[in-house]
Amino acid sequence: MSDKFITTMNTIHIPANEYQNLLEEIKLLKNTALLENVNRLIDLLYEDRYGFYLGEYTEDLTEYNINTNWQEKESAWDAL
């Protein structure tokens, strides 16, 4: 038999209850509806704590960062 057909499996040993906990965590993380609700809850709590919050809207922050870095940092083109 050729060596290229022999495979080894890397295994680890963990207690059965820890394995069951990992399976439950995976199941919860695959539940996208739950994650969407948790994300929405976090947004609402943040808004309640700090006031107005735009959520996923980051365009203004990106524009600000680009403009600020463009004006403050020299580029390789400035040395020419």
Per residue in 18-49, pLDDT (tens digit) is 999 999 989 888 888 888 898 888 888 888 87
CA distances from 31 to 27, 56, 67 (A): 7, 21, 40
Question: Which structural domain range is residue 57 located in?
Answer: 15-73
Over residues 44-75, the pLDDT tens digits come to: 888 887 776 666 666 666 666 666 766 666 66
Number of domains in the chain: 1
pTM greater than 0.85 (yes/no)? no
According to DSSP H, which parts of 16-80 are helical? 16-29, 32-50, 59-72
Q: Is residue 8 part of a domain?
A: no
- pLDDT of the residue at 77: 66
In a domain, 79, yes or no: no
